[in-house]
C-alpha cells in the first residue's frame, strides 16, 4: 500500500462506520425521520449526514418519502429474503411446519434468537383465518414475552440470564407478561421440565402460543417452532406432543442424535 492509500484508509473506515451508524439509527425508528433530527441525535453535522444519506440512497439502502423524511430502502427487504432463504434451519423446518399445520390447523411460526429478542423467519397459516395470528417475517419480540424466547433463556448460564434481566428490566407487553425475576425463573424451570414453553397473552392480548426448541448437531438450541392460536380456543392436549415430534425431526435433520441429559 502506498502512502496515499495508507492516508485514506482511516478516512474510509470513518465514512463506513458513520454510514452504518446512520443505518442503525434509521432502523431503530418506527417512522421516517427528518434529516435535521438524524443530525441532532447522531451528533453529526447536517452536511455530513446529507452526504452520507445521498450515497446510501444511490445504492438503495435508504430512501425518502413524500415529505423528504428518511427511511430504510428496499435493499434491506431484498437482503432479508436472501438471508431467510439461505438459512439451513428454515429449509429443514418448513416441510415439518406444514405437517404440523395439517395436524393442528393452527398457525405455525419459526423463530431464531436475535440479541434480546426472537425474530420470526417463517410461518405457515390458513390465509382465511390465520393472518391476524401470523407473526410478520422479520418481526421481533422480547425473549421473556414469548414461548420460544423463554426456551432460549432457559439455556443461558445464570450470569447471562442475570445480565439479560438487568438490560431489559423485563419490560411488559401486556398485563400478563412476566415482570419479575422470580416469575421468569419459575417459567424457565417449567420449560426445562416439559421440554416446551407457553405464552398465554404475554406478548399480545387474545393470543396464546406454545413453542419447542430445534437443536443442531452439538445439541445447541438454534431455533424454535411455535403453534399459535386465539386465547378463546381451547388448546388441544395433543398439540405439545405434535410440536415436540416436529422439532425432534428437524433437530435430527440438523444432526442432533438424542435428547439432552
In a domain, 259, yes or no: no
Q: Are residues 92 and 38 in the same domain?
A: no
Q: Are residues 66 and 88 in the same domain?
A: no
In a domain, 79, yes or no: no
Confidence band of 53 (pLDDT split at 50, 70, 90): very high
First to last CA, the chain: 54
Q: Are residues 170 and 216 in the same domain?
A: yes
In a domain, 184, yes or no: yes
pLDDT at 241: 96
Q: Are residues 163 and 45 in the same domain?
A: no
Overall number of domains in the chain = 2
Question: Which of 73, 98, 115 marks a domain boundary?
Answer: 73
In a domain, 183, yes or no: yes
pLDDT at 84: 67
pLDDT at 23 over 50: yes
Q: What is the domain range of residue 17?
A: 3-73
pLDDT at 236: 86
Q: Are residues 141 and 197 in the same domain?
A: yes
Residue-averaged pLDDT of the chain: 89
Question: Which of 43, 73, 103 marks a domain boundary?
Answer: 73
Q: Are residues 157 and 38 in the same domain?
A: no
Q: Are residues 62 and 90 in the same domain?
A: no
In a domain, 88, yes or no: yes
Rounded to an integer, the average pLDDT of 41-60 is 94
Q: Are residues 124 and 169 in the same domain?
A: yes
pLDDT at 164: 98
pLDDT at 85: 60
Distance CA 102, CA 143 (A): 27
Phi and psi angles of residue 11, each rounded to the nearest 5 degrees, phi first: -65, -40
pLDDT tens across 202-249, in order?
A: 999 999 999 999 999 889 999 999 999 888 888 889 999 999 999 999
pLDDT at 1: 45
Phi-psi region at 237: left, alpha or beta (left = phi > 0; alpha = psi -120 to 50):
alpha
Q: Are residues 98 and 44 in the same domain?
A: no
In a domain, 221, yes or no: yes
pLDDT tens across 67-126, in order?
A: 999 999 988 877 876 776 667 899 999 999 999 999 999 999 999 999 999 999 999 988
In a domain, 96, yes or no: yes
pLDDT at 159: 97
pLDDT at 192 over 90: yes
Q: What is the CATH number of the domain that holds 25?
A: 1.10.10.10
Count other Cβ atoms within 10 Å, centred on residue 250.
26
In a domain, 10, yes or no: yes
Q: Are residues 154 and 189 in the same domain?
A: yes
Q: Are residues 189 and 225 in the same domain?
A: yes
pLDDT at 132: 56
pLDDT tens across 98-111, in order?
A: 999 999 999 999 99
Q: Are residues 184 and 228 in the same domain?
A: yes
Q: What is the CATH number of the domain that holds 122?
A: 3.30.450.40
Question: Which of 73, 92, 108 marks a domain boundary?
Answer: 73
Amino acid at each position: 500500500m502506498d502512502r496515499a492509500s495508507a492516508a485514506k484508509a482511516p478516512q474510509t473506515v470513518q465514512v463506513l462506520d458513520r454510514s452504518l451508524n446512520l443505518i442503525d439509527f434509521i432502523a431503530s425508528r418506527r417512522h421516517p425521520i427528518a434529516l435535521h433530527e438524524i443530525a441532532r441525535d447522531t451528533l453529526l453535522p447536517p452536511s455530513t449526514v446529507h452526504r452520507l444519506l445521498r450515497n446510501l440512497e444511490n445504492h438503495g439502502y435508504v430512501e425518502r418519502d413524500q415529505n423528504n423524511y428518511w427511511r430504510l430502502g428496499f435493499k434491506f427487504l431484498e437482503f432479508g429474503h436472501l438471508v431467510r432463504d439461505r438459512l439451513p434451519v428454515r429449509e429443514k423446518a418448513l416441510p415439518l411446519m406444514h405437517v404440523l399445520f395439517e395436524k393442528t390447523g393452527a398457525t405455525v411460526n419459526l423463530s431464531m434468537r436475535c440479541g434480546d429478542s426472537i425474530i420470526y423467519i417463517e410461518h405457515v397459516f390458513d390465509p382465511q383465518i390465520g393472518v391476524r395470528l401470523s407473526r410478520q417475517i422479520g418481526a421481533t419480540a422480547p425473549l421473556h414475552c414469548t414461548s420460544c424466547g423463554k426456551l432460549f433463556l432457559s439455556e443461558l448460564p445464570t450470569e447471562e440470564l442475570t445480565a439479560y434481566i438487568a438490560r431489559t428490566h423485563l419490560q411488559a407487553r401486556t398485563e400478563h407478561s412476566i415482570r419479575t425475576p422470580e416469575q421468569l425463573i419459575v417459567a424457565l424451570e417449567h420449560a426445562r421440565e416439559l421440554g416446551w414453553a407457553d405464552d398465554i397473552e404475554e406478548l399480545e392480548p387474545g393470543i396464546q402460543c406454545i413453542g419447542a426448541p430445534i437443536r443442531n448437531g452439538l445439541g445447541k438450541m438454534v431455533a424454535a417452532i411455535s403453534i399459535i392460536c386465539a386465547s378463546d380456543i381451547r388448546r388441544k392436549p395433543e398439540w405439545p406432543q405434535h410440536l415436540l415430534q416436529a422439532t425432534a425431526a428437524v433437530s435430527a435433520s440438523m444432526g442432533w442424535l438424542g435428547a439432552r441429559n
